[in-house]
Structure 1
Amino acid sequence: MTSAALHQHPAPELEPGKVILELRGLEKRYPGTHALKPIDLAFRAGEIHAIVGENGAGKSTLIKLLTGVMPRTSGDVIWEGAPVALATPHEAMALGINAVHQEVVLCRHLTVAANMFLGEENVRYGLLQQRAMVRDAQKIISDLGFNLPAHVVLGGLTIGQQQLIAAARATVRGTKFLIFDEPTAYLTRKEADQLFALIRRLKAEGVTIIYISHRMEEVFELADRVSVLRDGTYVGTRDIKKTDEAELVRMMINRTIEQIYHKDQFPAGRVILETRQLSGKGFENVSMTVREGEIVGLYGLVGAGRSEFVTAVYGRHPKSSGTILWDGKEVNVRSENDAIKLGMALAPESRRDQGLCLNLPVGLNLNLPIYKRISKNLLISGSEEAKHAEQQIAGLRIKTPGRQALASSLSGGNQQKIVIGKWLNHGAKLFIFDEPTVGVDVGTKAEIYRLFSTLLSKGAGIILISSYLPEVYELADTLHVFRRGKLVGTHGFHTASHEDILTEALAEKQEKPGGQI
């Protein structure tokens, strides 16, 4: 079989609207944890069915059961009218069940084409037909509407582009039932539009789509029906045309939308950080201040220069010109260690790649910045280590079996809490949060926002980078807008409309000299 042949979708055997997969009493238990309580739920052929719920609600467990990654404890799965075991991923894929995960699980060191046909390589006389594979992969990718090269190494693409390749790969195996888990977490708006076009195309071909997302606007844009999970329990299913965001939020967390964006007001204190005409790779001439008790929001499209600016402030990348002042004194931040010593903390955008040691325990991750402090004569104090870890686990309500559990075993929201918690142990004065709620449910968002208030009440300052406008609009005391590496607008709390801010982020108008507004 050639690699091109893999892309030929078999016509779905069931008529659209008929039940393709049914769960009857599906349940999963771990020692000491009831991850998924008995659930009855049916999915229809050719529908887009969203599943929403907080981190820890049971969504990830459900995905693993449906894709054969782990066995169920009890219950039945009925596929096209007949019971199936779904004991292995191979069995699930053979039936036509596939998943595109939030974190790309492809091989970064291989080409895009090699990833597309991994396990189904085009081989002739024992030789890999690389040119043919690149040609076939490029045709598939282009036909799907993705303007991406098939011959390059996957690791050379952005995380968002890698996510599109993962979606493309999932379509080459005769998929009938495709699960998307937070697929737009790292996508630009343009990439998300391309993905949505693919999802609608698959639906038109009769493929059943399960769409898991914390972004309600996407659920209402795409889904036909939406089901809610809470604490491992199935709460209910709604026709998307007969519900609204407020109802879904109440079903998910028993709280209102207004309670999520609760913001305490604190008087601005002294200036902690000031930049004057700071320039570096990806940004230029940025001047701003951050005060005690203040949230400074940085908004812009992906690639606007926000992350590049803060990583230069943090010493991860060198500045080319300009000045950084800390507590009113000029400083030369040449490395991350310099920034940490001053009292800066950075929670990076990619928590899995940059913010955590996934193969190490929760407690060790939480204590990483303070091991020197809790050690004496090269020996770590076990009691201090346990005290600080348990303090953050309890204070941040991190859902974990214990501090010895591996960070990789926790949900995305709880992993984000670890990234934040380790810097609370450190006692930083300036916290830089780069997309802190990507892939995080609304309940955990509310907890993170309350944590912001705790930090501010203790005299810290916060820089909040977010591509989600409602987040920075509702939380930032001062909101800076970036476009193409320049600071093009500055606003106080609610002094500009959403439309004004979006116009600044998108429009080509004249910036004021020096980036200072």
Structure 2
Amino acid sequence: MAEPIISIKNITKEYPGTIALKDVNVDIYPGEVHTIAGENGAGKSTLMKVLAGAIEPTKGEVFIHGEQLKNFSPKVSSEKGIGIIYQEFNLVPHLTVEENIMLGNEQRKGLFVKRKENLEIAEKVLDRIQVRVSPKTLVKDLGVADQQLVEIAKAISKDVQVLIMDEPTAALTSDEVRSLFQLMNELRDKNVAIIYISHKFDEMFEISDKVTVLRDGVYIGTENIEDLDENKLVKMMVGRELQRSQRESAVQETTIMEVRDLSSSAGIADISFDLHKGEILGIAGLLGSGRTELAKTIFGVHSIEKGTIKIKDVTHSNIKSPEHAYSLGIGLIPEDRKHEGLVLDHSCEDNINLPSVKQYSKGLFINRGKEKEIVSKYGVELKIKYHSGQLGGELSGGNQQKLVVAKTLATDADILIFDEPTRGVDIGAKQEIYNLMNGLLKKGKSIIMISSEMEEVINMSDRIMVMMEGKSAGILQKEEATQERIFELATGIANREEAHS
């Protein structure tokens, strides 16, 4: 049997007030896709950062090719052939795609960078994963999905022996996921070891050779993928059988929002729909269809150029700002939690209270008792794992998502816009968010939910509006919403067929 390329022995990582990893032991072999699974806060990303040299363990040892890793730094790990694609992007926004891919690995002649050669290398890497982005484009001008693909291109541009992928498909379309899996299979055939982190069970079972499960920083076990099924994997991850909530409609006759002929500076055109009390209106569509732009227009980020939004019998021709939206009872859980949802260098308590602080302030004075009450209520209700004073940027991706939900709920908004509410969230936390949404509906709240997961949008929505190129391609009742029908509307196939009939 081949020797492991990486051996992790009794790795422990302690932070003030918490133990992120405790005595973890894992072997990674060449030519395998080894998935690390677990709930948010299980220690997956912390373990990957240890392997990438970004953090040093409190105790324990890491062996690469049988040699103990003595100095933990990204440079040392990179020299040992370890590449990593972080869950949170590690790109330089004001550099081009090519410059980001080649950063630290540029072809040079003396002090001078060989621009032509670097460009050619970047183009070949982008072609390899079928990315249709110009290498001369500035990264800051790319969407989330394209930035993710640039991260992947950057990692594989080097001669890696171990490639760590932390939630690489979170922002990708199904076609882009197919291309990524094809690339992973090619790398596996070349004896590259791939360490894969994902919350998507279908992906785990499709691409993995082995799965290692962590729970609360503790090693639970490693299994060959053929020896696992979904129920066994869930039980390993959460320590119990997962109770899945049944979606019961809470829709009332009362219309809480009427959108008519809405057009905005973000490319939204002639959108009309109603939102009822207790309803989840799903918004589906392909990447770039305008779903997020619609959400941000309703939330006051983009200006309305035409049309109206009627809320509780009051008609508005413009929503001037997010603060104005909050005052109207609209809250947004944004797609990009890192840049748009949280202040990462502020405490979790500050983040929860930030948008609602005016509600319990008088002049310059803040009611600290009320502040603590709100933090305690939503921290417990959403089961956010953090310690007092911990910064938002120090949480796992799923706990950051819960933090964004908590701060939005603290505003007591009646209309909640969830943009990709379960992206990068484990199956246990995902179920908690679904339960939370159902509970909000029973309290008379209304939800607009944008999701790229077809199963999620179909199962959770009472009606689904499908978007294409900034416009509504149709609104489907729950009973007529199928993956095929949504895809036909999202791609324009349905309209073309109707035109020919």
Q: Same fold (TM over 0.5)?
A: yes
Match of 2:262 in 1: 278
- The one-letter code sitting in structure 1 at the alignment partner of 2:495 is Q
Q: In structure 2, how many angstroms separate the alpha carbons of the residues matched to 1:185 and 1:271?
A: 34
Q: How many residues in Structure 1 have an aligned counterpart in Structure 2? A: 496
Matched, 1:387 2:373: yes
Match of 1:134 in 2: 119
* 3-state SS of paired residue (1:510): helix
Match of 1:241 in 2: 226
CA contact (8 A) 2:14 2:20 kept: yes
* 3-state SS of paired residue (1:76): strand
- The one-letter code sitting in structure 2 at the alignment partner of 1:56 is G
CA contact (8 A) 1:49 1:224 kept: yes
Evaluate the alpha carbon distance shift between residue 199 and residue 86 of structure 1 in structure 2; reply closer, same or farther with a 3 A threshold. farther
- The one-letter code sitting in structure 2 at the alignment partner of 1:301 is L
- Correspondence for 2:29 among 41, 44, 57: 44
CA contact (8 A) 1:362 1:406 kept: yes
Task: Summarize the alignment of residues 323-402 of structure 1 with structure 2, pairs less than 5 Å apart.
Answer: 323-336=308-321, 337-402=323-388
Evaluate the alpha carbon distance shift between residue 37 and residue 264 of structure 1 in structure 2; reply closer, same or farther with a 3 A threshold. farther
Deviation per CA, 1:108-155, whole angstroms, max 9, x where unpaired? 111122212222333434333334322332233334433332222222
CA contact (8 A) 1:278 1:323 kept: yes
Displacement of 1:502: 3.2
CA contact (8 A) 2:306 2:317 kept: no
Evaluate the alpha carbon distance shift between residue 126 and residue 41 of structure 1 in structure 2; reply closer, same or farther with a 3 A threshold. closer
Q: In structure 2, how many angstroms separate the alpha carbons of the residues matched to 1:254 and 1:486?
A: 45
- The one-letter code sitting in structure 1 at the alignment partner of 2:250 is F
Deviation per CA, 1:147-192, whole angstroms, max 9, x where unpaired? 3322222222222222222212212332101100000111222332
- Correspondence for 1:500 among 485, 493, 498: 485
- Correspondence for 2:68 among 56, 76, 83: 83
Displacement of 1:436: 0.9
* 3-state SS of paired residue (1:263): coil
CA contact (8 A) 1:346 1:433 kept: yes
Evaluate the alpha carbon distance shift between residue 481 and residue 261 of structure 1 in structure 2; reply closer, same or farther with a 3 A threshold. farther
Match of 2:89 in 1: 104
- The one-letter code sitting in structure 2 at the alignment partner of 1:270 is T
Displacement of 1:100: 0.3
- Correspondence for 1:165 among 147, 150, 159: 150
* 3-state SS of paired residue (2:358): coil
- Correspondence for 2:293 among 297, 302, 308: 308
Match of 1:11 in 2: none
* 3-state SS of paired residue (2:464): strand
Evaluate the alpha carbon distance shift between residue 471 and residue 343 of structure 1 in structure 2; reply closer, same or farther with a 3 A threshold. same
Matched, 1:268 2:252: yes
Match of 1:201 in 2: 186
Unpaired stretches in structure 2, ≥5 consecutive residues: none
Displacement of 1:494: 4.1
Displacement of 1:366: 0.9
Range with greater deviation from structure 2 (297-306 or 463-472): 297-306
* 3-state SS of paired residue (1:322): strand
CA contact (8 A) 2:308 2:318 kept: no
Deviation per CA, 1:353-388, whole angstroms, max 9, x where unpaired? 111111111111111112222222222233333332
Displacement of 1:471: 1.1
CA contact (8 A) 1:333 1:339 kept: no
Q: Percent same amino acid among aligned pairs?
A: 38
Q: In structure 2, how many angstroms separate the alpha carbons of the residues matched to 1:361 and 1:481?
A: 38
Deviation per CA, 1:297-320, whole angstroms, max 9, x where unpaired? 111221222222222222221233
CA contact (8 A) 1:488 1:512 kept: no
- Correspondence for 1:466 among 443, 446, 451: 451
Evaluate the alpha carbon distance shift between residue 477 and residue 145 of structure 1 in structure 2; reply closer, same or farther with a 3 A threshold. closer
Evaluate the alpha carbon distance shift between residue 267 and residue 165 of structure 1 in structure 2; reply closer, same or farther with a 3 A threshold. closer
* 3-state SS of paired residue (1:371): helix
Q: In structure 2, how many angstroms separate the alpha carbons of the residues matched to 1:39 and 1:306?
A: 42
Q: In structure 2, how many angstroms separate the alpha carbons of the residues matched to 1:478 and 1:272?
A: 15
Q: In structure 2, how many angstroms separate the alpha carbons of the residues matched to 1:78 and 1:135?
A: 35
- The one-letter code sitting in structure 2 at the alignment partner of 1:350 is D
Root mean square deviation of aligned Cα: 2.2
Displacement of 1:233: 1.8
- The one-letter code sitting in structure 2 at the alignment partner of 1:266 is A
CA contact (8 A) 2:458 2:481 kept: no
Evaluate the alpha carbon distance shift between residue 511 and residue 47 of structure 1 in structure 2; reply closer, same or farther with a 3 A threshold. same
TM-score by length of 1: 0.90
Q: In structure 1, how many angstroms separate the alpha carbons of the residues matched to 2:139 and 2:262?
A: 33
Task: Summarize the alignment of residues 185-264 of structure 1 with structure 2, pairs less than 5 Å apart.
Answer: 185-256=170-241, 259-264=243-248
- The one-letter code sitting in structure 2 at the alignment partner of 1:154 is V
CA contact (8 A) 2:22 2:218 kept: yes
Displacement of 1:407: 0.5
